[in-house]
Structure 1
Amino acid sequence: MVLTIDIGNSDIVVGYYANQAWQHVWRVPSRPAQPPAFYQRQLRMWLLEADLPLSSIRRAVISSVVPALTANVREAVGELFALSPVVVGPSVYPYLPVEVVRPQEVGTDLVANAVAALARYNRNCVVVDFGTALTFTTISATGKMLGIAITPGLKTAIRSLFANTAQLPEVPIEMPPSALGTNTVLAIQAGVVMGYESLVRGMIARIRAELNGDCIAVATGGLAQAIPSLHTEFVDVLPSLTLDGIRLIGEYVPAELN
């Protein structure tokens, strides 16, 4: 049984993997760094509610793009389950089947996306991750991370409008019926949601053109299903793809390093 922890800028996502499937996935907002006891209480509560003993956790893997949270979460996991969690980062990349470009710069979640995509498809693939940032991670069939594109995510864009303007409301992420917004909410949805639909289609087309058309696309992230009209661009829409990659990284790392 494996516990994976994906510490992102908006949320901490925790997955419990057993019997070849994700049995439980929990999510809590990322907050300013809390002491290890805080994360221990949260993990205990989730496992208790799922009727899972602490002893069921045999391996834990942590990916974090928020350095301020990493150490305390790592300490909490180590003490609670009496094990040393794998922490995704440059020190473990030599054990992966993926060649990581600029390992000190690339986000560990994007490395996890590349690892999962290579294992699942074994061909040129772009992973479109709909999170706090909207990212495009392209990996070759031979396991090389070819490059990454990053833009603000859907929620980030809408919240930026809401925070920096006096009269614009925060609106739900929904596809409007028309590009001609007839009120403020519909106008923002037309500009942002339809705009992002075109952005994603355009970026996938550009990436495919640079790879002579030989590239599939897969979607992941918390908002992967937010724009249903995009689903025809993807071979799969897999919100758990990042967790899959984090779990696989834990399997690639030698046991003596755990």
Structure 2
Amino acid sequence: MLLVIDVGNTNIVLGVYEGKKLEYDWRIATDKDKTSDEYGLLFEQIFKYHGLCPTMVNDVIISSVVPTLMYTMEAMSLKYFQCEPLIVGPGIKTGMNIKYDNPREVGADRIVNAVSAYEKYGGPLVIVDFGTAITFCAVSKGGEYLGGAIAPGIKISSEALFMRTAKLPKVELVKPEVSICKNTENSIQAGLIYGYIGLVDGIINRMKEELRNDGNVETVVATGGFASLIASESKSINRIDKLLTLEGLRIIYERNK
């Protein structure tokens, strides 16, 4: 059994594969102050709840955009799963040519998503990951990672609005029925949700135009926690794949085992 772990700034997403089949997947809050023992015991509890045992895990692969948690996760893997984990980073075989000025700058999650999306849907394509930040990644017809764009996530913008204004309240991130709203809470929701829909479609359309010499972009895939909220109204996103990152970790593991 393979344990795949993706460490993000807001959430840690993990899953277990038996061969190519994802048996279970979970999402927990990222806590930079937790120790390897605290994470190990938490993972053990999750496993036991589903009738699994840590000894069933033969291998572990980890991607992380939180450097302070990398050692924590490595130590947790060694102590609780008796596995030295494969870390997604420089030197790992991804099967993808990275056309970035400095490939080391590209977040591990972006590469994992690109590998997964190209394997599943082919190229050229655009991937939008709705995480703490919203990342846009472009992959060529030949499977090259071309680069992309990064914008503040919708939750960050919502919290900044609340923190930096005296009278505007903190609101739940749900879509109002209209954009001409009759109260402050709905007005903020409309500005955030419909504003981000416009931002997302605008960047995707620019990327499609820049990719036109590589062929028509048939697939724009969204992943991440807020994917469904924005993609439901987006005119550009045509696929939602919540498990894109986990599948990418499995693919990269198989290319390196």
Normalised by the shorter chain, which TM-score bucket?
A: over 0.9
Q: Which residue of 2 aligns with 1:157?
A: 157
Alpha-carbon deviation of 1:233?
A: 2.7
Instruction: Give the counterpart of 1:219 among 222, 226, 230.
Output: 222
Rounded to whole Å, the distance in 2 between the matches of 1:217 and 1:160 is 29
Rounded to whole Å, the distance in 1 between the matches of 2:235 and 2:247 is 23
Rounded to whole Å, the distance in 1 between the matches of 2:229 and 2:73 is 30
For 1:87, the aligned partner's letter is I
Residue 136 in structure 1 maps to residue 169 in structure 2: no
Residue 247 in structure 1 maps to residue 236 in structure 2: no
Q: Deviations over 1:183-204 (max 9, x none)?
A: 1111111111001111111111
The alignment partner of 1:127 has SS state of: strand
1:83-162 alignment to 2 at 5 Å? 83-92=83-92, 95-100=93-98, 101=100, 102-162=102-162
Rounded to whole Å, the distance in 2 between the matches of 1:224 and 1:107 is 19
Q: Which residue of 1 aligns with 2:188?
A: 188
Q: Deviations over 1:135-173 (max 9, x none)?
A: 101111212111110001111111111122221111122
Is contact 1:225-1:237 (8 Å) kept?
A: yes
Rounded to whole Å, the distance in 2 between the matches of 1:97 and 1:214 is 23
For 1:78, the aligned partner's letter is L
Q: Hey, which bits of structure 1, 4+ residues long, moved more than 4 A?
A: none
Instruction: Mark the CA change 1:192 to 1:45 in structure 2 (over 3 Å): closer, same or farther.
Output: same
Q: Which residue of 1 aligns with 2:240?
A: 237
Q: Which residue of 1 aligns with 2:57?
A: 57
Alpha-carbon deviation of 1:227?
A: 2.6
Runs (5+) with no aligned partner, structure 2: none
Runs (5+) with no aligned partner, structure 1: none
TM-score, length basis structure 1: 0.93
Alpha-carbon deviation of 1:128?
A: 0.6
Instruction: Mark the CA change 1:228 to 1:115 in structure 2 (over 3 Å): closer, same or farther.
Output: closer
For 1:219, the aligned partner's letter is A
Rounded to whole Å, the distance in 2 between the matches of 1:20 and 1:250 is 11
Q: Deviations over 1:14-56 (max 9, x none)?
A: 1112253322222221112322111110111111111112222
Rounded to whole Å, the distance in 2 between the matches of 1:23 and 1:161 is 40
Bigger mean CA offset, 168-177 vs 218-227: 168-177
Rounded to whole Å, the distance in 1 between the matches of 2:220 and 2:241 is 11
Instruction: Mark the CA change 1:170 to 1:103 in structure 2 (over 3 Å): closer, same or farther.
Output: same
Rounded to whole Å, the distance in 2 between the matches of 1:232 and 1:58 is 43
Rounded to whole Å, the distance in 2 between the matches of 1:79 and 1:24 is 22
RMSD over aligned Cα atoms: 1.5
The alignment partner of 2:149 has SS state of: strand
